[in-house]
Every structure is written in structure tokens, then in C-alpha cells.
Structure 1
Amino acid sequence: MKQFKILVAIDFSKDSFIVLQRAMEFARKINGIVDVVHIVENSFFSPKKDINYIKEHILERLQLAFNDFDEKHFHCIKGNTKKEIAKVANILKSKLIIIGKSGETYRFSEVYMGSHTKHIVRSADVPVLVLKKESEISTKTILLPTDLSSKSAAAILEIAKLFPSAYLTLVHFFTIPFEARLNSYGFSDEDTIEYMTVMKDKSEKNLEQFVQTIDIPQGFRVSSKVRKSSLNPKLFDKEVEDIPHDILALHTTGRVSFYAFDILESSIENVLILKI
């Protein structure tokens, strides 16, 4: 059985070393391999220092921080960060890319992600785990919003393949059309509650039927829930706070995709992006 290959992109900032430390800890737990990539931007130019010279010196720094790091797993490439990381992942046949949420200046406490993170997520052909927290990486519980599409079904199977021992919770959102107008339209409080109950019951039935259509691998644990939602990305964490999850998984296709990147931006959770 092939080992689980993880590619970690670092910029040699203090926080990117935290990301690498967490990735190495995670790899040890799953008997995986960590490759490290650093991109020397094309915009950096020095007539005295070529790429091999730069690689030699930053490798020294890397091995100083991680004594047991094997040189064969370090890749220093000149190019465009937004494109090269995805290329390296394909060449190495990595199963997962792990990155921090921004560039050289990011802090774990910041809300906004850097442009490099977004471009890496968009260009990668393999799942990307964006770390938002300093704590150890855990994949015990994963939350996946689903739009009941074939893309969502494929995302479920991809998660089952990546993390077969995880407990996956599907959450399907329903909305109340013109909710703010119901009182103006003559709905009593009782009418509104009844209407919401009907919408919730319909969503639960649709979700149950959807799950039954998926050939979920034997032993992979899946549960499902429905939630009334405003579809406001900034309120997402609040709307699912009662559902235990170590990782929030999002797929970037289907109806979920239109606000997946907004959730990635605003969520405080570690986010797994799946391009299905």
C-alpha cells in the first residue's frame, strides 16, 4: 500500500514552520510522507545567487529547525508560487497539499487570507487543507455542506478515500423564501413555524434519499443534518457550531461553490477544499 504523500508549502516565516510542524505530526500518525516545497519567485533576482545556492542555504535552515528532515523531500523551485505548488503536487503524486492561510506576514489570529492561498486552492488538482489553527491536525470529525448534487456525492467518496477512519457529518441547508416578508404577507407566528417545519421536513427527506444513492464504503461512518441558513458566509460557523467537527470540507463545484471561497475566508476552522 502506497504511503500517504503530503506536500507542504512554506515561505520560511515563523508561522509556516508551525504549519510544517503540524503536518509532520499528522504524517507520523498516519504513516505518511511530507514533502516540502519553497518557491523562489521569478520577481526575485540576484546576479550573484542562483537557485542552487539559495536551495543550499534554505535547506540548512530547514534542517536546523527539523533535525531529521531528509533532503530528498525538499523541493526549491524558481517560478510563480500561485502555479508551481500545484505542478509540484502533480509531479510528486501528492494526495494532499497543506498550507497556511496567507503569505509571509500572516498570523493564525488574522481573519483574511493572502492571495497566494486562494490561487493555490484554485489551481490545485488535489485536495488542499488550509490550516487556520495552531493546534494539532485532527481528521476524526469532518463536516461537509452538501447541495445534494453529484459533485457532493463525489466529495463524500473522496473524503472516505482520504480519511477512511473519519466520522463525516453532512449538513444540508434550507432557506425560507421571503422570510422577512412573511408577517407583512399576513402570516401569523404559528403559520411561520408551520411553514418552516414543512421546509425542514422536506429537506430532511431529500437529504435521506440523497445519502441512500451513494455507494459509501463499508465501515465509513456518515451522519446527516439539516439546518436553516441565511447563506451568509460570515454566519456559517455560528449556524453549525453545535455540530462537532475538526475540519470543515468544501467542494468548489455545484451550488455550494458560489460561497465556498467566502466561507474559506471567514471560517475560523481548518478547511479542506476539494475540487471535484
Structure 2
Amino acid sequence: MDRAVQLARETGRELVVVHAVEDPDVIRVGPSLEERVASVMPENVGDYRCLFPEGSAPAAIAQAVEDEDPFCLVIGVARYNSVGDFLLGTAVDMLLRRSPYPVLVAKERPRAAYEHIVIGTDLSDASKRGVEAVVRMFPQAQLHLVHAFHVPYEAWQNAEYVRNELAAAAQEQCDGFTEQLDISQACREQMTMEQVEGSPLTAINRTIRKYDSHLCALTSHGYGGLRQALIGSTVSDLLKTLTIDTLVIHPEHESAA
């Protein structure tokens, strides 16, 4: 909740709290839903609005979000011991698949605004749109793009010249990708773009540590390793493994304005 409040303040947008009611009979006992929400809100939260859609959590929340046309959907998590520890459990996965809006899974208490954002990219058109969306959402942050590549044949992995050629080709692709981004020159100049040999998760974690980032954005639904990382049940593994806030940009999302 703290991160959602902070984002609302930073962007000047309305804060809307959504709580799905799966069993209406349960809420008739004890404090009202509004009182329960108020009890967990941060101090000096300011104005906010509550929605209590009825039905299963994934479907009810997804419908409420669609009706609101939000800037971003913020979901909190409780613990990180297993996939089941995520708030609403599999509802997180279902919301990621159903909602065309950016979904921010908040794992840390906010200490400050996001200053360094790591973005995993597979250099696809969908990934390009995702990077541009992150720029619009967080115009003051410095972005660090990372692209993972691997040597395709085990027998060549010890051949230094093969590794160098693949690294050079990946760097050329990365340079072309950043040149095509529809962003300001000032943003482009402070942006970093790295290509890292290894798995997408290894590359992302290395870049997170390098820049002490507290937000990772995943934008891929094109081709390559990150595409597989964001399809099916593997998204739960990523959300479990990454220990910082994670923003997922849906491939159909074109604007964060």
C-alpha cells in the first residue's frame, strides 16, 4: 500500500483501493470494509477511493481495473518463500495475463522514488514499446537496459572468438534498439544498455546489483529468452526470485500517459 500511496502523490493521480469480495456474507460481521481498509492505510494518506467488486479475486479485480483505466495496478506481496506466498496466490499470474495495464508487484517498503530502473529486454518491438512506457511512467529515473545472449552450441562455449563475435553482434543489435526508441535525447544520453552472456535472470540480477536498483521492469513478449520467462507459469518463478519491486508491461500496453 505504501508504494501505491507514494506513486499517487508523485504523479498527482487518484488512489483507488480495490478489494475483491468473494463471499459477501463474511463482510456482514465485524467492521465495515471501508473501516478495514482505513486500518491498514499509511498515516497522512490523503484522499482515496475504495472499490469492492464481488466475485473471484482475479476476475473481479481485472474487471474493476478495466473500468478505471488506471495508470498502474499495484499489488503487494507478503513473503517470498514460495509462489503461494504471493498475495492472492495465482491471482497475480492471472492478473498479469488479463490486465493490459502495467502491473507493479511491490516487494519492498518504499524508501524513496525509483532512481534506477533495470529493464530486461529481448530487443523486440513489444519490448521497445515497453521501454517507452517506462520512460513515460518514470520520467525522472535513470534506465538501465539489459539484454541476455548465450552461445548456442555447447561445443563452442570454450571458443573465445565465437563468444567475441556473438557479443559484438549483440552489442550492434542493442545499439540499434536504443536508437529506435521514441524518447528524448536527454533520456537517451543518461540511459545505459548492456548485453550480458548468460540467462535473462542472471543478467537482470547482475545489473540490479550493479546499480542498486529497486525496480525491475519486464517488457518482453517478442522473441528470445525473456519471452519464455514471461509466458506461462515461469512468470511466478521470476516474481519469486527477484527480490525488488517488479513492473510487468503487457504487450498490448501502448501508453502510460
TM-score range, shorter chain: 0.7 to 0.9
Q: Does the alignment pair 1:228 with 2:203? A: no
Per the TM alignment, residue 129 of structure 1 is displaced from its structure 2 partner at its CA by: 0.3
Distance 2:55 2:93 in 1: 17
Per the TM alignment, residue 54 of structure 1 is displaced from its structure 2 partner at its CA by: 7.2
| 1:2-29 C-alpha deviation (Å, 9 max, x unpaired) | xxxxxxxxxxxxxxxxxx1232133223
TM-score (norm 1): 0.75
Indicate the structure (1 or 2) with the bigger Cα radius of gyration. 1
| 1:159-189 C-alpha deviation (Å, 9 max, x unpaired) | 111111111111111101223x347xxxxx6
| 1:12-67 C-alpha deviation (Å, 9 max, x unpaired) | xxxxxxxx1232133223433211011011xx253xx6x7x579712123224446
Distance 2:220 2:174 in 1: 20
Alignment check: 8 A CA contact 1:111 1:266 kept: no
Q: Which has the higher relative contact order, 1 or 2, with Cα contacts under 8 A spaced 6 or more apart?
A: 2
Distance 1:79 1:208, change over 3 A: same
| 1:113-142 C-alpha deviation (Å, 9 max, x unpaired) | 321111111111110000122343632211
Aligned to 1:15: none
| Identity between Structure 1 and Structure 2 (%) | 22
Alignment check: 8 A CA contact 2:120 2:147 kept: yes
Alignment check: 8 A CA contact 1:86 1:125 kept: no
Alignment gaps of 5+ in structure 2: 252-257
Per the TM alignment, residue 206 of structure 1 is displaced from its structure 2 partner at its CA by: 1.2
Distance 1:93 1:122 in 2: 16
Per the TM alignment, residue 153 of structure 1 is displaced from its structure 2 partner at its CA by: 1.0
Alignment check: 8 A CA contact 1:100 1:131 kept: yes
Q: 1:57 aligns with which of 27, 32, 37?
A: 32
Query: What does 1:1-276 align with in structure 2 at a 5 Å threshold?
Result: 20-41=1-22, 44=23, 46=25, 57-66=32-41, 73-101=49-77, 106-107=78-79, 109-112=80-83, 113=86, 114-136=89-111, 138-179=113-154, 181-182=155-156, 192-220=159-187, 221-231=190-200, 233=201, 235=202, 237-240=204-207, 241-255=209-223, 256-260=226-230, 261=235, 262-276=237-251
Q: Which amino acid aligns with 1:178?
A: Y
Q: Which amino acid aligns with 2:213?
A: H
Q: Which amino acid aligns with 2:221?
A: T
| RMSD across aligned positions (CA) | 2.6
Distance 2:175 2:47 in 1: 49
| 1:90-110 C-alpha deviation (Å, 9 max, x unpaired) | 222211000023xxxx32x43
Q: Which amino acid aligns with 1:227?
A: V
Alignment check: 8 A CA contact 1:25 1:136 kept: no
Alignment gaps of 5+ in structure 1: 1-19, 184-188
State the number of aligned residues: 236
Worse overlay, 247-256 or 115-124:
247-256
Aligned-partner SS, 1:59: helix
Aligned-partner SS, 1:83: helix
Aligned-partner SS, 1:77: coil
Distance 1:74 1:133, change over 3 A: same
Per the TM alignment, residue 212 of structure 1 is displaced from its structure 2 partner at its CA by: 1.2
Aligned-partner SS, 2:74: strand
Distance 2:54 2:37 in 1: 18
Q: Which amino acid aligns with 2:7?
A: F
Worse overlay, 244-253 or 68-77:
68-77
